[in-house]
Amino acid sequence: MGIVQSSPLVWALSFVTFGVIQGDDTRVEDPQQLALLESALKADPVALGMLYDQYVDRIYSYIYHRVGQAEVAEDLTGQVFMRVLEAVRSGKPWRSSFSGWLYRIAHNQVIDYYRRNKRAVFVDVDEATPVASVDGDLAHMVETRLASQHLREALTEITEEQAQVITLRFLDDLSIAEVASIMDKTEGAIKALQYRAVLALRRVMQP
Amino acid sequence: MMPSADDSLVNVLSECCELLMAGASIDACLERFPAQASALGPLLTTFVAVRALRPVPVRKPNVAAQKRAEFLAAAQHLRSDLVARPAGGIVALGLWWEQARAALAHAMRGYQAPRAMPLGLALLLAGLIIVGMVTTAAVTSAASALPGELLYPVKLATQQVQVTFAPNSQARTSLQQRFAAERIADAQEIMDLKRAVRTIWFAGVIEAVQPEQWVVSGVPVTVVPETRITGDPKVGAPVEVTASAPGDGRLVARVLRVVGPPPAGSVQPASIGAPSTPTGTATSSPEPADTPTLQPTATATPAAGSTLSGSSPLLLPTDPLDIRLRRTPTPTLTLMPLPTRAATRTPLPTSTHSPNKYRLEGRVTRIDGYLWTIAGVTVDTVNTLFVGNPDLDYLVQVTYVQRPDGSYLALEIVTIGGPLATPAPFEVTGVLQAMSGDTWTVEGWQIKIRPDTVIEGNPQIGVYVRVKALTQANREIWATKITVLTLIEYNFVGTIQEIGGDHWIIEGQTVLIDGNTQIIGEPAVGLTAEVVAVRMPDGSLVARIISVVVPDTPVPTPTATETLAPTATETVPAAEDTPTPTEPAPLAEPTATATEIAPAAGMPRIYRIGLAQRLPVNTSPPRSSS
């Protein structure tokens, strides 16, 4: 396979020749993208800036969907990209797909954010809004009674992996293949996880 | 093996999600899979509800721009760091290797007979290549250096050389304009980075004059009572700014030297407030002593005149280094007189157009505002280029000139030795309590952050850090290395065996209770509690959350996490550098029974604690609290 071996720096790129995600469900070997990644590995500020421009909105979107606050999302997004620089500096850059690696940093930032803030907001289940009745029109109930905040709260009550797959698949429009790359799982595992996630979410949303 | 019903639904749901994302309706999906319609319908409805959350608020353009600028500045800094520190990692190694390879390839191009070259010549060639590489690396690195960094003077000198050797006046003017713009960008970047820098110099055009702030070519400059203002500050007038950056994102002006009137026909905005009454100490006319001798205005500089006559708003660089390079026809150090202390006290004949420069080595014995006393000679550092961040007691080399009034003005102060006393090692580990400019507080100790301080991790207020430092003669503690400590988190469930002030014993483990510990429920000896704790650097366990498990509350499926063992959460902080997905295999997914717990009469209210539920450990039982 076409492993780039133009310098000792690009050994990591041997892992990148597969799975360069282009923002949709395309997994291709894009020479330009590989060159960009190679330059970024060498701490080329222009290449790093281009990668930033490529991914910043997507990472912001992912983080916003997880934390629900624009200001926090901005801060965490900034930290994600600073992590990229730190990784390049320390010689521990991405070894598989860059975007997958980037989303994992974002994911860890979200986890870290919640840990630091210890989920200071306690949700009293007595006050939780019932989402739907068993015999009611669920679609109508969901659309009319669930504000986004409540649904977000529901997302916090399923497992971390389930919330991640819901966010990546349904909110950030990533394909099964992309989510599989980010979460380092097979596509089959992601489908199964997706199924369990929807099931769990629905269960949480029921009274 | 036949696929289970769930297996079938997994694939059907996945397919339907794709269809819905492509614009199909729920009904269309259900019609396509009639056999699974009853199970599929609610799931698809949930899917649609989640999809309604997709819109993301538009990022504020100013915030987005600022974040982008911060990243780009950090990327630039990273590049210069890696080149400046070739031992810093594989990337730097690679950069050097590539330069070496390129240099060798170039040198060996067309070379056919290796055995014909004498060994001495080969060694000489190799030596030249290495010297060239080092120089190239330094200059390359300096290109992105910022004020206050070691290589910034190299950058200025390199730019001056470029100007000097420009092929024609047009190219020279273009370069001067470009470099003047870079100075402004440098100043802006220092502000963006909130970096503390002693001296920043740039020239620009006054865009606004307010009592406490001027705007010079887009850069806000804070004016304080100590600011010296010379000339007539009017919007549109060219001005030279000498400022310091305290590290809080501001530039505080030390000297604002208005070097000319606004261009004829320039518009004076009516909104500009009180241009004639700035807070700083204004003088109505330029200082006669300075203008013709030490700090020439643009009009006094032949190279600058052509630019000022044009329409460019940028003033040409006339910083101290610039002055030095232009005024020393042959920049050979031996041409400069090296006065003794006695010699420097003797009035020196000076020319108003070409003042003699002197150089002196000695220790800094006194710093009084802008006046530094070095080996008994007091020099004004109002417009001085500092190299190596000299300070009190440092051994420095000062290059200075004498003003017509007999006082001395330092052009450059270069550190050539540290303070007198031998620095003593100092270490402290604890909470980072404050970060104020270049002074951080760790466990009550004031720690000075130096340009060469190595910072590992992402220090923020509240994190644990280990500081390695050297105490200085002036009692300052200068950090050499600050490492953010990753605290490993533990979760376990056990019986409360002892409650004693801030030391509890739970399941045989002593856990410390501090002000941040959240205690949920009514703890008592004998009750079971779920503990989220972190291991401190000294080995102690500090509880973050102690949640009392009410005996009547059904606890679904106790897990292996009851033993004190690091859970998957401990990998999260470490994974940020090279993230690997955490694999919370033993996750107990929320079950219907877990969410159906309702507070019965007399039972404590039930709370869900997000943190514990987010962590891939024993997530099921809701905690109780009275």
B339 and B451, same domain (yes or no): no
Chain B residue closest to A70 (CA)?
B57
Q: Does residue B267 form part of some domain?
A: no
Asked whether the beta carbons of residue A7 and residue B98 sit closer than 8 angstroms, the reply is yes
Query: In the predicted model, is pLDDT for residue B280 greater than 50?
Result: no
Asked whether the beta carbons of residue B95 and residue A89 sit closer than 8 angstroms, the reply is no
B384 and B438, same domain (yes or no): no
Residue by residue, DSSP assigns B285-297 as S--TTTTTTTS--
Exposure string (b/e) for B48-85, b if CB count within 10 Å is 16 or more? bbbeebeebeebeeeebeebbebbbbbbbbbbbbbbbe
Contacts of A160 in chain B (CB under 8 A): 582, 584, 587, 614-616
Chain A residue closest to B569 (CA)?
A111
For range B348-377, the mean pLDDT: 71
Query: In the predicted model, is pLDDT for residue B99 greater than 50?
Result: no
- Closest-CA distance, B68 to chain A, in angstroms, reads 8
In angstroms, the CA B306 to CA B312 distance is 10
Asked whether the beta carbons of residue B75 and residue A151 sit closer than 8 angstroms, the reply is no
- A1-119 and A123-207 share one CATH topology? no
In angstroms, the CA A73 to CA A76 distance is 5
Residues contacting residue A113 through CB under 8 Å, at least 6 positions apart: A67, A72, A76
Asked whether the beta carbons of residue B579 and residue A107 sit closer than 8 angstroms, the reply is yes
Query: In the predicted model, is pLDDT for residue B85 greater than 90?
Result: no
Query: In the predicted model, is pLDDT for residue A77 greater than 90?
Result: yes
B205 and B321, same domain (yes or no): yes
Residues contacting residue B82 through CB under 8 Å, at least 6 positions apart: A43, A89, B88, B89, B91, B92, B95
Look up the CATH number of domain A1-119: 1.10.1740.10
Nearest to A49 by CA among A62, A60, A36, A59: A36
Asked whether the beta carbons of residue B577 and residue A202 sit closer than 8 angstroms, the reply is no
Q: Where are the beta strands (DSSP E) in chain A?
A: 20-21, 27-28, 123-124
In angstroms, the CA A46 to CA A52 distance is 10
Asked whether the beta carbons of residue B13 and residue A198 sit closer than 8 angstroms, the reply is yes
Q: Would you place residue B131 in the very low, low, confident or very high pLDDT band (cuts 50, 70, 90)?
A: low
- Closest-CA distance, B4 to chain A, in angstroms, reads 12
Query: In the predicted model, is pLDDT for residue B342 greater than 50?
Result: no
Q: Does residue B594 form part of some domain?
A: yes
For range B463-484, the mean pLDDT: 81
In percent, the amount of chain A with pLDDT more than 90 equals 24
CATH class held by domain A123-207: mainly alpha
Closest CB to A104 among B14, B47, B581: B581
In angstroms, the CA B141 to CA B76 distance is 10
User: Are residues B419 and B364 in contact, defined by beta-carbon separation less than 8 angstroms?
Assistant: no
Q: How many domains does chain B have?
A: 6
Q: How many CB atoms lie within 10 A of CB B269?
A: 11
In angstroms, the CA B622 to CA B617 distance is 13
B510 and B599, same domain (yes or no): yes
In angstroms, the CA B149 to CA A187 distance is 49
By mean pLDDT, which of B73-87, B202-216, B224-238 is the weakest? Answer: B73-87
Burial (CB count within 10 angstroms: exposed 0-12, middle 13-18, buried 19+), residue A25: middle
User: B400: domain CATH number?
Assistant: 2.40.50
- Tell me which residues of chain B, numbers 132 to 161, contact chain A at a CB-CB cutoff of 8 Å: 144
Q: What angle do CA B76, B80, B83 make, to 5 degrees?
A: 140
Query: In the predicted model, is pLDDT for residue A76 greater than 90?
Result: yes
B341 and B379, same domain (yes or no): yes
Q: Would you place residue B7 in the very low, low, confident or very high pLDDT band (cuts 50, 70, 90)?
A: low
B494 and B552, same domain (yes or no): yes
Q: Where are the beta strands (DSSP E) in A42-186?
A: 123-124
Strands B503-506 and B488-500: antiparallel
For B24, B48, B493, the CA distances from B623, given in Å and listed in that order, are 42, 32, 12
Closest CB to B89 among A90, A126, A185: A90
The more confidently predicted of residues A43 and B618 is A43
Closest CB to B611 among A118, A159, A166: A118
Residues contacting residue B355 through CB under 8 Å, at least 6 positions apart: B293, B294, B327, B401, B402
Q: How many CB atoms lie within 10 A of CB B557?
A: 12
Residue B14 half-sphere exposure, CB side, CA atoms within 13 Å?
Answer: 22
Chain A residue closest to B79 (CA)?
A43
pLDDT in tens, A100-148: 899 999 999 988 888 877 544 433 333 333 333 334 444 444 444 455 6
pLDDT in tens, A146-184: 556 677 778 778 888 898 899 999 888 898 988 998 888
- Tell me which residues of chain B, numbers 261 to 280, contact chain A at a CB-CB cutoff of 8 Å: none
The more confidently predicted of residues B232 and B96 is B232
Residues contacting residue B337 through CB under 8 Å, at least 6 positions apart: B343, B356, B358, B359
Asked whether the beta carbons of residue B611 and residue A114 sit closer than 8 angstroms, the reply is yes
B493 and B584, same domain (yes or no): yes
Q: Is B96 on the interface with A (CB under 8 A)?
A: no
User: Are residues B382 and B228 in contact, defined by beta-carbon separation less than 8 angstroms?
Assistant: yes
- Tell me which residues of chain B, numbers 577 to 596, contact chain A at a CB-CB cutoff of 8 Å: 577-582, 584, 587, 589-592, 595
Q: Looking at residue A74, what is its pLDDT?
A: 93
Asked whether the beta carbons of residue A159 and residue B589 sit closer than 8 angstroms, the reply is yes
Q: Looking at residue B341, what is its pLDDT?
A: 35
For range B384-403, the mean pLDDT: 81
Q: Looking at residue B452, what is its pLDDT?
A: 80
Q: Does residue B56 form part of some domain?
A: no
Nearest to B613 by CA among A104, A125, A129, A6: A125
Q: Looking at residue A73, what is its pLDDT?
A: 92
User: Are residues B547 and A118 in contact, defined by beta-carbon separation less than 8 angstroms?
Assistant: no
B90 and B46, same domain (yes or no): no
Contacts of B10 in chain A (CB under 8 A): 191-192, 194-195
Contacts of A59 in chain B (CB under 8 A): none
User: B223: domain CATH number?
Assistant: 2.40.50.320
In angstroms, the CA B146 to CA B183 distance is 9
Contacts of B569 in chain A (CB under 8 A): 111, 115
Contacts of B11 in chain A (CB under 8 A): 191
Q: Looking at residue B608, what is its pLDDT?
A: 29
Q: Would you place residue B130 in the very low, low, confident or very high pLDDT band (cuts 50, 70, 90)?
A: low
Query: In the predicted model, is pLDDT for residue B626 greater than 60?
Result: no
Asked whether the beta carbons of residue B610 and residue A8 sit closer than 8 angstroms, the reply is no
* Domain carrying residue B440: 424-484
Mean pLDDT: which of A12-26, B95-109, B114-128, B229-243 is highest? Answer: B229-243
Residue by residue, DSSP assigns B474-503 as TS-EEEEEEEEPPPEEEEEEEEEEEEETTE
Structure token digits, residue B476: 């300052």
Chain A residue closest to B581 (CA)?
A183
Q: Does residue B172 form part of some domain?
A: yes
Q: Does residue B20 form part of some domain?
A: yes
B300 and B222, same domain (yes or no): yes
Query: In the predicted model, is pLDDT for residue B198 greater than 90?
Result: no
Q: Looking at residue B583, what is its pLDDT?
A: 38
- Closest-CA distance, B44 to chain A, in angstroms, reads 8
Chain A residue closest to B617 (CA)?
A159
A-B C-beta contacts closer than 8 Å = 256
Residues contacting residue A21 through CB under 8 Å, at least 6 positions apart: A27, A97, A98, A99, A100, A178, A181
Q: Would you place residue A75 in the very low, low, confident or very high pLDDT band (cuts 50, 70, 90)?
A: very high
User: Are residues B237 and B258 in contact, defined by beta-carbon separation less than 8 angstroms?
Assistant: yes
- Closest-CA distance, A30 to chain B, in angstroms, reads 23
Asked whether the beta carbons of residue B53 and residue A92 sit closer than 8 angstroms, the reply is no
In angstroms, the CA B311 to CA B301 distance is 17
The more confidently predicted of residues A24 and A193 is A193
Burial (CB count within 10 angstroms: exposed 0-12, middle 13-18, buried 19+), residue B406: exposed
Asked whether the beta carbons of residue B610 and residue A114 sit closer than 8 angstroms, the reply is yes
Closest CB to B45 among A52, A139, A203: A139
B191 and B277, same domain (yes or no): yes
Mean pLDDT: which of A72-81, B28-37, B110-119, B405-414 is highest? Answer: A72-81
- Closest-CA distance, B616 to chain A, in angstroms, reads 7
Chain A residue closest to B584 (CA)?
A161
Asked whether the beta carbons of residue B72 and residue A86 sit closer than 8 angstroms, the reply is no
In percent, the amount of chain B with pLDDT more than 70 equals 59
Q: Does residue B115 form part of some domain?
A: no
Asked whether the beta carbons of residue B616 and residue A159 sit closer than 8 angstroms, the reply is yes
What's the mean pLDDT when you consider all of chain B? 66
- Closest-CA distance, A6 to chain B, in angstroms, reads 9
pLDDT in tens, B455-472: 888 888 878 888 888 877
Q: At what angle do helices B37-51 and B5-21 cross, to 10 degrees?
A: 40
For range A190-199, the mean pLDDT: 92
- Closest-CA distance, A81 to chain B, in angstroms, reads 7
Q: Where are the beta strands (DSSP E) in B30-76?
A: none
User: Are residues A168 and A182 in contact, defined by beta-carbon separation less than 8 angstroms?
Assistant: yes
User: Are residues B323 and B316 in contact, defined by beta-carbon separation less than 8 angstroms?
Assistant: no
Nearest to B404 by CA among B327, B359, B349, B358: B349
Q: Is A68 left (phi over 0), alpha (psi -120 to 50) or beta?
A: left
pLDDT in tens, A13-72: 333 333 333 333 334 457 888 888 888 888 888 889 899 999 999 999 999 888 888 899
Residue B208: strand, helix, or coil: strand
Q: Looking at residue B160, what is its pLDDT?
A: 72
B30 and B13, same domain (yes or no): yes
- Tell me which residues of chain B, numbers 450 to 489, contact chain A at a CB-CB cutoff of 8 Å: 458, 462, 489
Contacts of B591 in chain A (CB under 8 A): 203
- For chain A, the domains span 1-119, 123-207
Structure token digits, residue B87: 């031992």
Q: Does residue B602 form part of some domain?
A: yes
DSSP class of residue A158? S
Q: Would you place residue B359 in the very low, low, confident or very high pLDDT band (cuts 50, 70, 90)?
A: confident
Q: Structure pTM?
A: 0.37
B210 and B246, same domain (yes or no): yes
In angstroms, the CA B288 to CA B291 distance is 6
Query: In the predicted model, is pLDDT for residue A7 greater than 50?
Result: no
For range B286-302, the mean pLDDT: 36
Chain A residue closest to B77 (CA)?
A45
Residue A27: strand, helix, or coil: strand
Asked whether the beta carbons of residue A85 and residue B51 sit closer than 8 angstroms, the reply is no
Mean pLDDT: which of A72-76, B183-187, B490-494 is highest? Answer: A72-76
Q: Looking at residue B522, what is its pLDDT?
A: 83
Residue by residue, DSSP assigns B246-272 as ESSS--EEEEEEE-SPPPTT----TT-
